[in-house]
Amino acid sequence: MSLAALIVLVLALAGVLGLKAWRGQEAEEARGAAANAGRQAAETALSYDYRTLDKSFAAARATMTPEFAGKFDETAKVAGELATKTKATVRAEVREVGVRDGDANRVTLIIFVNQTTTSTITQGKPRVDLNRTRFTMVRNGSRWLVQEIAGL
């Protein structure tokens, strides 16, 4: 093998390895950004107050893709009716966020969230539910939006 061919081979290999490292760094940064956005989205989407349901649900929809926001509206309608009937307030507090998998454009998170509910059902005493949820986050320009929420 000639020296020129060896140099071309080494440069090509270095280029491939450099591209792989750059993509790995890009994916790592995406996972961190998606985890931060998922934390905020979980606290927003999983909290509501019967006195300000429209405001609570609008804030939640703002963290979601349009497709998922449509699905959310179906659930929010039922939850809103029950919340109004029982005078419920729910405050979600994210305890931990873990990245299950992901790349530069799509990240799956496992989110541990405590939801504190006060309502006529709880007789005014706060009840804390410890939940684990799976959030799928997708990149939309410079923002990360919720594409799916699923219980575990």
pLDDT digits (tens, 9 = 90+) for 52-99: 999 999 999 999 999 999 999 999 999 999 999 999 999 999 999 999
Cα-based distances in Å from 32 to 21, 132, 133: 17, 19, 18
- C-alpha 33/C-alpha 127 separation (Å) is 31
27-36 as b/e: b if 16+ CB within 10 A: beebbebbbe
CB contact set of 92 (below 8 Å; sequence gap of 6+): 42, 43, 44, 45, 46, 47, 113, 114, 115
The pLDDT tens digits of the residues spanning 101-152 come to 889 999 999 999 999 999 999 888 999 999 999 999 999 999 999 999 998 7
Options 3.10.450.230, 3.40.50.10330, 2.40.128.20, 3.30.1330.40; CATH of 3-151: 3.10.450.230
pTM: 0.81
Q: In what order do the strands lie in the sheet with 106-118?
A: 48-49, 89-102, 106-118, 127-140, 143-151
- C-alpha 97/C-alpha 33 separation (Å) is 12
Residue 44: predicted pLDDT: 97
Average pLDDT, rounded, for the chain: 88
Find, among 89, 101, 110, the residue nearest to 39 by Cα.
Answer: 110
Band (30; pLDDT cuts 50, 70, 90): confident
